[in-house]
Amino acid sequence: MRKSNSIFRTAFVSEAGSELANNDYFAYVEFDDYACYALASGITDFETSNAAKEVVEHLILSFEEKASMSKSTLLQYMKETNERLLSGNHARRLKASVIMVVTDYEKFRYVAAGNVRLRMYRQGRFLMNSSDMSLASDLIAKGDETPLDRHEERHNLYAYLGKKDFFRPFVSKVQKLQDSDIILLYSQGLWEHVDSQEIDEIIEGATDDPQVSVDTLEDVLLSRQPKNLKSYTASAIFVNKVYRDPDRERKRLFYIKVAIGVVAVLLIGAIIFYIFHSIRQSKIEKLEKNKFNMTEYVKAENYTLAQESCKAALVLAEDLHRKEDETELKANLILFDELIQANEFLKTGDYYSAYDTYMNVLKNSAGVDKTTRSYIQRRINRMDSYINVVEFLKLGDSFSQQGNYDEAEGMYLKAIEMANVVHDNASREKAFAAIEKIYDKRAALRKEAADKADEKKQVAMSDAMKKGDDLLAAGDLDGARKAYLDARNLSDDPAARMQTSEALGKVTEAQNKKAEDERLTDEAKKKSYEEAEQIEKNGDDAFDKEDYLSAQMFYMRAIEKYISLNEVDKSKLIQTKYDIATEKYSALDNQKKDAEAMEQKARDYYANRNYAEAKSTVAMAKTMYSNLGLKTKVDEMDILLQQIATDEVIDNSLNPPSPAKAEDSPKGK
């Protein structure tokens, strides 16, 4: 099932080079559940050697008899093969380097002895490689800078098949395979003349046909025309599709259930204790959290939420039998309840009840924090203003009932003034409504007086008064004054003269108000213009400092100011500055986004262990941040470069392996 539900493709080239016979040998076998790939290279000073063939054939036969990926089994394969070489009746003792890859079509591991190499790729990128078991590798690991492929000790092996004593082959860890992984096996004849970077470039451009890749490797090798070219072999295993076990999830769930059952039986006592302890600790944490929230809400003067947190904390304190916390929380809860009740009185306009409640809370809040006492005191001070509004309304109502409308109107106007200060909209509307009733009563009195006067004079006077009202409403104060004086001269009736006097008084008030408004308007306009100029200057300063976002904000506020002053040309000029600042900010923002994108790309390479690309991309991101003047980000890139370099060294030293694939019968050269 595994082989038929996966796609592993294998191809190889193997030639004698300039030697009389090919001393390399590659073969592989693919079964339903496992596959094995083995490459050996004979170590000999003579023209020919059968060591590689004997090693590979024996390893393949051992695998056919007992297919396994276990470390002990692979070591047993190698041990038996080594003993076979040592016990053979050969005129010359046989020796060979070998690497053997085994896979179950999901994962793989390899066993190696000598300097036959493995190199693995994922998504076309180099992932891992094997290490030569030579003195050269050890010296390079200790600091020798001579390239391994040209080191004079590269053939001085401390592990190989045919070694008598201290035979210790290397077995890798099991590594999972992924679709499109590539495993390359190659011998000394290839790696001595084609470096790893060239190999990586060939594999990076590989298709799904392994034969094309190994042929390309051979072409590159032969193009070098090396002298004394030893036998060379290159084998590519293309993992086009890995096997996915349909029973994996069910098996995992079964093992989890078994493990849970065993753990539950062994640790039930400890678990029960832990549960009760955790519950209590959780309650304590919730209690402290609610107390903290209560304190923060008090600081924010949100006593409704403080009350909720206090109630929740009190329930937990009672459950935990923490008497000290209970006493403190109950006292706080009483305080919050009274404050919320006082706020409700204030909201509904019951100012006297609100005042009494606030005073009572203040009287009983000796142990309360300064924030709450300050809040209560401010509310009490505010109550004085609310109560003054109510008192003025009451006085207005009293004068109105007595018919003293002028005094009543004065009280209502004072009530409106105080209501505006404390934002008491309801009382203000009530005062306006009362003034309208006074005006209605005055109008009724004027009408009654007018009915008793001469009809002709009354009509003329009414016309003059109406003309005055219209002119007053239209803002023609001189015309209104003349019209009211004409109306005054048309009647000697005291009530009529009183009416004209009131009208003339309104004209005078309007003239005074107009003069005052013009004065205030001129001053306000001058002040607004100065403010607009200052805001514009702030924008220019921010622009000079390349703080284009702040410059936009200041220019927009300056535009609004100039528009309100009807300075159209000035606002257009500032609009041009705003547009330039916007373009500048957009350009910087795009550069910053490009730098962040480059940083993220580097981190993705880093996460995929593509250290070369990661370091190159981090360097580019660092340059971009440096050009933007973002020193903090530049420092972050330096730290990231150090992390990548460290992980690259660690990863290369650990040489993590990966899985491979298989077929049904031995195939080889």
- Distance from C-alpha of 395 to C-alpha of 408, rounded to nearest angstrom: 7
Q: How far apart (Å, rounded) are the C-alpha atoms in residues 365 and 68?
A: 81
145: exposed, middle or buried (Cβ count in 10 Å: 0-12, 13-18, 19+): exposed
Which amino acid, 182? Answer: I
pLDDT for 663:
44
Most confident of 211-225, 511-525, 527-541: 211-225
- % the chain with pLDDT above 70: 90
Nearest of 374, 368, 354, 364 to residue 310 by alpha carbon: 368
For residue 450, what pLDDT band results from cuts at 50, 70 and 90?
Answer: low
What integer pLDDT is reported at residue 346 of this predicted model?
72
Across the range 579-597, mean pLDDT stands at 84
pLDDT band at residue 253 using 50, 70 and 90 as cut-offs: confident
Residues in the chain: 669
- Looking at residue 182, what is its pLDDT? 96
Residue 125 pLDDT: 94
Average pLDDT over residues 280-297: 84
DSSP-assigned beta bridge partners for residue 98: 40, 113
Using the 8-state DSSP alphabet, how is residue 229 labeled?
P
Q: Which long-range contacts does 145-153 make (Cβ < 8 Å, 24+ apart)?
A: 149/191, 149/192, 149/195
Q: Can you give the pLDDT at residue 54?
A: 92
Q: Higher pLDDT residue, 103 or 164?
A: 103
pLDDT in tens, 624-665: 888 887 888 889 899 989 999 888 888 888 765 555 444 444
Dist CA 417 CA 96 (whole Å): 107
One-letter amino acid for residue 358 of the chain: Y
**DSSP at 173:** P
Tell me which residue has tokens 């005062």: 431
Contact 283, 319 (CB under 8 A): yes
Higher confidence at residue 178 or residue 528? 178
Residue-level pLDDT at 661: 43
Q: Which H or E run includes 323? A: helix 323-348
454-472 tens-digit pLDDT: 677 778 788 877 888 888 8
Q: Which of 367, 505, 531, 376 is nearest to 442 (CA)?
A: 505
pLDDT of residue 57: 95
CB 130 within 8 A of CB 117: yes
Q: How far is CA 435 from CA 327, 397, 412, 560, in A?
A: 54, 10, 7, 38
Q: Would the CA dihedral through 613, 614, 618, 621 be positive or negative?
A: positive
pLDDT at 513 over 70: yes
Q: Which helix (H) or strand (E) holds 322?
A: none
55 band by pLDDT with thresholds 50, 70 and 90: very high
Do residues 132 and 154 touch, judged by C-beta distance below 8 A? yes
Residue type, 412: Y
pLDDT at 543 over 80: yes
What SS3 class is residue 130? coil
Contact, 128 vs 120, CB < 8 A? yes
Q: What pLDDT was estimated at residue 255?
A: 66
- What would the CATH number be for the domain defined by 3-244? 3.60.40.10
The pLDDT, as a whole number, for residue 662 is 41
* Cβ(452)–Cβ(460) below 8 Å: no
Tokens of 210: 């392994």
Specify burial of residue 25 (Cβ count, 10 A radius: 0-12, 13-18, 19+): buried
Q: What is the pLDDT of residues 344-380, one digit of tens each?
A: 877 776 777 777 777 777 776 665 667 777 777 777 7
Mean pLDDT over 252-269 rounds to 74
Summarised one tens digit per residue, pLDDT across range 412-443 is 887 787 778 767 777 788 888 888 888 888 88
User: Is 657 in contact with 179 (CB distance < 8 Å)?
Assistant: no
What is 470-513 written as a DSSP string?
HHHHHT-HHHHHHHHHHHHHT---HHHHHHHHHHHHHHHHHHHH
Write out the two tokens for 36.
């094995």
Query: For a pLDDT cut of 90, what percent of the chain falls above it?
Result: 26
* 3 state DSSP class of 107: strand
Average model confidence (pLDDT) across the chain: 83
- Cα-flanking dihedrals φ and ψ of residue 154, to 5°? -70, -20
- Token pair, residue 35, equals 């596959």
Flag whether pLDDT at 46 surpasses 90. Answer: no
Question: Distance between CA 598 and CA 637 in Å, rounded?
Answer: 11
Residues in a beta bridge with 445: none
Distance CA 489, CA 7 (A): 117
Contact 115, 136 (CB under 8 A): no
For 37, the 3-state DSSP assignment is strand
Beta-strand ranges (E) seen in 214-260 are: 232-241
* Structure letter (DSSP) for residue 600: H
Tokens of 527: 């002040």
Q: Give the closest residue to 393 by CA, choosing from 334, 448, 446, 437.
A: 437
Write the DSSP assignment of 513-535 as a string of letters.
Answer: HHHHHHHHHHHHHHHHHHHHHHH
Model pLDDT, residue 214? 95
Cβ 483 vs Cβ 464: under 8 Å: yes
Q: Which two tokens stand for residue 294?
A: 């209560």
pLDDT computed for residue 23 by the predictor: 92
- 162-179 residue pLDDT tens: 888 889 999 999 999 999
Cross-strand partners of 86: none
Radius of gyration, CA atoms only, the chain:
48
- Amino acid identity of residue 310, one-letter, is C
pLDDT at 655 (0 to 100)? 63
**The predicted structure's pLDDT at residue 550:** 83
State the Cα–Cα distance between residues 659 and 652, nearest whole angstrom: 18
As a whole number, mean pLDDT of residues 176-193 equals: 94
Specify the pLDDT at position 465. Answer: 78
At 164, is the secondary structure helix, strand, or coil? Answer: coil
State the Cα torsion 565-568-569-575 to the nearest 10°.
Answer: 100
